[in-house]
Structure 1
Amino acid sequence: MYKNTNARGRPGVVLAAAAVAQFVFALDMSVVNVALPAVRTALGFAPLDLSWIVHVYALTFGGLLLLGGRACDLYGHRRMFVVGLAAFGVCSLAGGLAQVPWQLIAARAGQGVGAAAAAPAALGMLTTTFPEGPRRVRALGVWSAVNAAGGALGVLAGGLLTEYAGWRWVMLINLPIVAAALALVPPSVCAGAQPGRREKLDVLGAVLATGGVGLLAFGVVRTDAEGWGSLPTVATLAAGAVLLTAFAFAESRAPAPLLRLGLLRSRWVAGANVLVFLAAAGQFAAFYFVSLYMQQVLGMGAAATGLAFLPFSMSLVVGTVIATRVTSARTPRAALVPGALLAAGGLAWFAFISPGGAFLTDVLGPCIITGVGVGLVIAPVVAAGTTGVAAREAGMASGLFNSSRQLGGCVGLAVLATVAALRTGTSTDVAALNDGYALGLAVAAGLFVLAAVVAICVLPHRAAVPAPQPVAAPTKNQLEGTPS
């Protein structure tokens, strides 16, 4: 028996709570980047340790998403949403008050743990509150636009806060946003779908998945110091691959798996996860290269660079609105293909940046084209990733989707940064830096072309019907015809 108690919640409040929470999680991925030089000076970070302020959040967030998603299905979306958000807020306060490097790194790790619990809960609340169809597409469109805006505005907020308020406010700014999200939860948002009979959490699967994803992400993010061909990198990536292989084997035999492998037989779910991996890889890397181009080649300051991303955010919202209307009338595939190709075109335009370039032609124009294209992708791909998924597996599907996106961004940024560094070499000349960034942006464009190919070849032409509820194996008493 499986009860969906989330239906009693007010849909508008559920959407508002989920959107506000996702905004702060996305904001935190980028808001710290601009503040790193100020943090290093204030807390005395060693140069090689400074990057861990960014990496440890990505590692804990990405590594624990599958576990967080399954916990939502077992213990309730609202419960995990509140616990995760509260932990995120407490760790944000601790980070803002940090006095030595280890305290800030520990606080960032705690933020990642909280986000890994609350992010799949937020998406799970939406998919169980809004039935498949136009209403869900509109809700996911709002959620996706806010998510993307949080990432883009994080650069702006980081620059302005660091320059005018101090670096600690890049952490403390989270507190009022978390408070707003928590204020929307009780009593308006219902607990969420929970199984009538409590299943045990798949501990073995949780250990293997978290270890495998964590090792892969750790190996990738450390390539800036170790190099792709070094023994530590190869060993770490190989160990991660072994753990994930063991995870797949264990899940195929687990009575209540962390990730039901049959879920991946859905072309919607499998295609959406591959597509979001590619799109996140291209998008995260593009943010990185364009930000560096404006600061290190065009000589723009931190605050000006943040403001320069506003046109991208606005065009992204426009793309999301268009995608919502297209997907409501047809299927996610109808917006994903043109969106990925348009984003590829905008990034290809970016690839023609030059040391003497002008903001209007080298940044603003391609920013608008790319923003609209990405906006056409982000809402439909979330809808695609939850199409046909049973309500009791909403958290599982949400955790898988968020893991694919986080890993895509992490791997994409590391790989494309290496590609750019190989082109640049050891030169610090502006022209050499420009060539490296241009190559990285060209490869990012290629990733969106691959995403379009996945949308064309893998995603079905027609929408799927909701998946049947998985049926638990009968107990001995049930087989004998007696009450269990």
Structure 2
Amino acid sequence: MDDSRRWWTLPVVSAAQLLVVLDGTIVNIALPSVQQALGMSDAGRHWVVTAYALAFGGLLLIGGRVSSALGHRRAFMIGLVGFAAASALAGAAAGPGMLFATRALQGGFAALLAPAGLSLLTTTFTESRERARAFGVFAAVGAAGSAVGLVLGGMLTEYTSWRWCLYINVPIALLALLGTTLVPRDRRAPSRDGRLDVPGAVLSCAAFVAVVYAFNQAEPLGWGSPIVLALLVVGVLLLVGFVAVERRVSHPLLPMRVLAHRVRAGAFVAITLMFAAMFGFYLFMSYYTQTVLGYSPVQSGLTLIINALAALVGSMFIAGRLHGRVPPAGLIVSGLIAAAAGVAIVTLLTPQSSHVLPLYLAPALVLTGLGLGCVMSPTASLATAGMPPQDIGAASASYNAAQQLGAALGTALFNTVATSAAAAHMATATRSAASVHGYTTALTVGAGILVVTACLTAVLITVRTTVHREMEKDAS
């Protein structure tokens, strides 16, 4: 394979990863402007974000299966074209219904694009050092994408129009598509088995939608709401049904061997709970800086640049350079502990705290960014290492689904805990003091989640390098 052409895979896949991750947050900052422009109700505005998240997460496993069937390069190109078209339609939306539908369409094409991109990266870079460099860049883009989305969303909304938060995807997708023409074709032929596990597809999509929608509804309704509890019960039952079906069908959508390996399962647990804690942290940064410190949306977003730069350093210059020298568990556990320390710093905030940015926020953003970068790179590598060619798409889709599930859980959990704690404190404190108490209580939970995750990861992912070497040997 032409080495120079092979390396085109990295920037092209990274651009697509930026699209997928960025689009999960860029619209958040613009949401008030979108609501006003299109006349949305307060009850319905969340569908701008929820429609994308549900379609993306619900269709990921199907996207991974389709990617294996079509060939990862071809599926990747289809995903880029579809994502660009859906983004253009969403930006031109004349009313709420059209915007909700096109956001769901964006999520559907993202569900094809994300696993196809990660699969291309996995099959292209198999040598240990190359793999470390490639996954370091990929993880850096993924870790920084959410922060970049908040910054870019604020700037585009403030200086142009909320519609450009969607139009911006079109040139990025077209540039990535142009770059894909230089990417070598798949080294292995696409799967000849065109059969789709229809029962598994329906059950997986319905289970994800039920669980994630329950998380979303927990924010306004509370975790004790009959609707939320019913959705959670239905989601769990659908998930049990999905596992039962996948164990019996001859061509499962998600072969259970993808999850059965202890090391791979540890990678999924680590990234799911890491995203749960980090998305809660990002929500804190948005609310605290704007409602307590009085930052503008742009200033609030720019503050997160510190986190994005730290994530870049963590993934490329720490995890990338130490790959193969330090056991994966060492990198992941260290990253989780660093992130926990960063989150713990902001739990020390009080309404009387001064010099908040240099003494609290900046150290927290640096530590959480370094931690996220050190976790994403090795978990992405472990999630797909050692998989047979026909299962790489499913493993890639599962890794992306784990991130989506963690993000949905973290946002809902943080908001619920913060709101409840603030309400309980309101009787004896000012509104500002109650808000700060709510934020710090929720962040304490987030720090606890990261510490527990570090302990689980240490157990699930062996500290010996031999297991990881065997997985990489199988992958190559």
Aligned equivalents of 1:423, 1:218: Cα separation in 2 = 23
For the structure 1 residues 437 and 7, does the alpha-carbon distance in structure 2 shift closer, same or farther, using more than 3 Å as the test? farther
Shift of 1:467: 8.9
Q: Does 1:336 align with 2:338?
A: no
User: Which among 439, 442, 449 is matched to residue 441 of structure 2?
Assistant: 439
Q: Provide the residue aligned with 1:449 in structure 2.
A: 451
Per-residue deviation at 1:47?
0.6
1:47 aligns with 2:47: no
Paired position in structure 2 for 1:354:
350
Q: How does 1:10-25 map to 2 (within 5 A)?
A: 10-25=5-20
Quick check: 1:277–1:405 contact (8 Å CA) kept in 2? Answer: yes
Partner Cα separation in structure 2 for residue 138 and residue 179 of structure 1: 25
* 8 Å contact kept, 1:91–1:110: yes
CA distance in 1, matches of 2:236, 2:189: 32
Consecutive unaligned residues in structure 2, runs of 5 or more: none
Q: Counterpart in 2 of 1:474?
A: none
Paired residue type of 1:266:
H
Task: Pick from 56, 69, 72 the counterpart of residue 67 of structure 2.
Answer: 72
> Is the Cα contact below 8 Å between 1:390 and 1:466 reproduced in 2?
no
* Preserved CA contact (<8 Å) 2:68 2:191: no
**Structure 2 residue identity aligned to 1:332:** P
1:413: Cα distance to partner?
A: 1.3
CA distance in 2 between partners of 1:310 and 1:150 (Å): 10
Return the alpha-carbon distance in structure 1 between the equivalents of residues 188 and 138 of structure 2. Answer: 20
What is the match of residue 211 of structure 2? 216
For the Cα contact (< 8 Å) 1:9–1:189, is it kept in 2?
A: no
| 1:170-209 alignment runs, 5 A limit | 170-191=165-186, 193-195=188-190, 197-209=192-204
The structure-2 alpha-carbon separation of the partners of 1:138 and 1:45, relative to structure 1 and needing over 3 Å to count, comes to: same
Tell me if the contact between 2:69 and 2:191 (Cα under 8 Å) persists in the aligned partners: no
Correspondence 1:384 to 2:364: no
Aligned counterpart for 1:238 among listed residues 224, 233, 242: 233
Quick one: which of 382, 395, 398 aligns to 1:397?
395
For 1:35 and 1:396, locate their aligned partners in 2 and report how far apart those are by CA, in whole Å: 33
The TM-score, its normalising length taken from structure 2, stands at 0.94
The one-letter amino acid paired with 1:409 is A
* Letter matched to residue 422 of structure 1: S
Q: Percent identity?
A: 37
Across the aligned residues of Structure 1 and Structure 2, the Cα RMSD in angstroms comes to 1.9
Partner Cα distance (1:124, 1:185) in 2: 14
Is 2:406 the counterpart of 1:408?
yes
Secondary structure of 1:190's counterpart equals coil
SS in 2 for 1:328: coil
1:325 aligns with 2:321: yes
Which stretch of structure 1 is more off in the superposition, 104-113 or 365-374?
365-374
Pairwise CA distance, 1:466: 4.2
Q: Is the Cα–Cα contact under 8 Å of residues 191 and 390 in structure 2 kept in the other structure?
A: no
| In structure 1, C-alpha distance between the alignment counterparts of 2:117 and 2:110, rounded to whole Å | 10
Say whether the 8 Å CA contact 2:129–2:323 is kept in structure 1: yes
In 2, Cα distance between the equivalents of 1:187 and 1:312? 32
- For residues 69-124 of structure 1, what are the alpha-carbon distances to aligned partners after superposition, in whole Å with 9 as ceiling and x for unaligned? 11111221112111112111111111111111111111111110010000000000
TM-fit CA distance, 1:284: 0.8
State the secondary structure of the residue aligned to 2:51.
helix
The structure with more helix, counted as a fraction of residues: 2
Deviation at 1:150, TM superposition (A): 1.4
Aligned partner of 2:268 among 266, 273, 288: 273
Cα distance, 1:7 vs structure 2? 9.0
Q: State the 1:9 CA deviation.
A: 8.9
> Deviation of residue 401 (structure 1)?
0.8
**Structure 1 residues 334 and 410: alpha-carbon distance in aligned structure 2, compared to 1, 3 A threshold:** same
Q: Does the C-alpha gap of structure 1 residues 468 and 322 become closer, same or farther in structure 2, counting only changes over 3 Å?
A: closer
Is contact 1:73-1:392 (8 Å) kept?
yes
Q: How far, CA to CA, are the matches of 2:136 and 2:342 in structure 1?
A: 21
Q: Find the counterpart in structure 1 of residue 283 from structure 2.
A: 288
Provide the residue aligned with 1:430 in structure 2: 432
- Shifted more, 348-357 versus 246-255: the winner is 348-357
Deviation of 1:134 (Å): 2.0
Q: 1:465 aligns with which of 462, 470, 474?
A: 470
Summarize deviations over 1:275-319 as a string: whole Å, max 9, x none. 111101011110011111000011111111111111111111111
Alpha-carbon contact 1:7-1:129 (below 8 Å) kept = no
User: CA offset at residue 226 of structure 1?
Assistant: 2.7
Q: Does 1:364 align with 2:362?
A: yes
Question: What letter is aligned with 2:83?
Answer: F
Deviation by residue 1:383-436 (Cα, 9 ceiling, x = unmatched): 121222223211110011111111011012111211111101185811111111
SS at match of 2:412: helix
Decide which of 154, 157, 181 is 1:159's aligned counterpart.
154
Q: CA deviation at 1:8?
A: 8.7
User: Runs of at least 4 residues of structure 1 off by over 3 A?
Assistant: 6-9, 191-197, 466-469
Q: Hey, what's the Cα distance between the residues in 2 that align with 1:193 and 1:350? A: 49
Counterpart amino acid of residue 326 in structure 1? L
**Superposition deviation, residue 195 in structure 1:** 4.7
Q: Which residue in 2 is equivalent to 1:480?
A: none
1:84 corresponding residue in structure 2? 79
Inter-partner Cα distance in structure 1 for 2:187 and 2:206: 28
The number of residues matched between the two structures is 465
Q: Where do 5+ consecutive residues of structure 1 fail to align? A: 1-5, 470-484
Which string of whole-angstrom CA distances, capped at 9 and with x for unpartnered residues, describes residues 452-483 of structure 1? 112211102231524999xxxxxxxxxxxxxx
- Offset of residue 331 of structure 1: 3.0
Distance 1:296 1:215 in 2: 32
